[in-house]
């Protein structure tokens, strides 16, 4: 059981692997200390490797783009998709990061809930190897 709330975010994620291949994925959940993504293709995520992500929150959040350093924790491969989990190491604009978490909390979407709905204007996230 997770010790903190993880909020659903249908943000787009672009992951750049060690070969500089760019793959589109979906941010599944986000918390103060971690996040997970899902993709329909394979991404070469190195175990315990650092990446930098740029988050562009939904327009209605009125939060500016921010970046954070993350570290890969786990990868699950399924028949047609891949899920990866990361811990948050350093949010470079911590206030914007915390404001975005508050925005997601106000939307009331907690990860693993039965009613995770699609946002009309999702945030965008780019991930690159640090």
Beta bridge partners of 91: 68
Q: What is the dihedral of CA 29, 32, 33, 39, to 10 degrees?
A: 20
- Check residue 71 and give its pLDDT: 93
Containing 15, the helix (H) or strand (E) segment is strand 12-16
Distance CA 58, CA 64 (A): 9
**pLDDT higher at 3 or 70:** 70
- Evaluate the CA torsion angle 19, 44, 74, 40 in order and state its sign: positive
pLDDT tens for 69-122 read 889 999 999 888 889 999 999 888 899 999 989 988 888 766 653 333 444 445
Q: Domain 7-129 class?
A: mainly beta
Domain coordinates in residue numbering, the chain: 7-129
- Check residue 111 and give its pLDDT: 62
Distance CA 109, CA 28 (A): 11
- Evaluate the CA torsion angle 84, 89, 93, 99 in order and state its sign: positive
pLDDT tens for 48-74 read 988 877 777 778 888 888 888 889 999
The maximal CA–CA distance of the chain, rounded, in angstroms, is 39
pLDDT tens for 99-109 read 989 988 888 76
């Amino acid at each position: 059981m997770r010790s903190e709330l993880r909020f659903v975010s249908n943000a787009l994620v672009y992951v750049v692997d060690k070969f500089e291949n760019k793959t589109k994925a979906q941010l599944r959940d986000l918390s103060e200390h971690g996040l997970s993504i899902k993709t329909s293709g394979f991404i070469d995520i190195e175990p315990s490797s650092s990446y930098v992500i740029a988050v562009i929150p939904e327009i209605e959040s009125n939060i500016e783009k921010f970046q954070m350093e993350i570290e890969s924790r786990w990868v699950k491969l399924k028949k047609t998709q891949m899920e990866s989990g990361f811990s948050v190491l350093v949010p470079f604009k911590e206030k914007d990061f915390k404001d975005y978490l508050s925005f997601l909390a106000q939307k009331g979407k907690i990860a693993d809930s039965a009613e995770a709905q699609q946002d009309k204007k999702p945030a965008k996230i780019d991930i690159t190897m640090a």
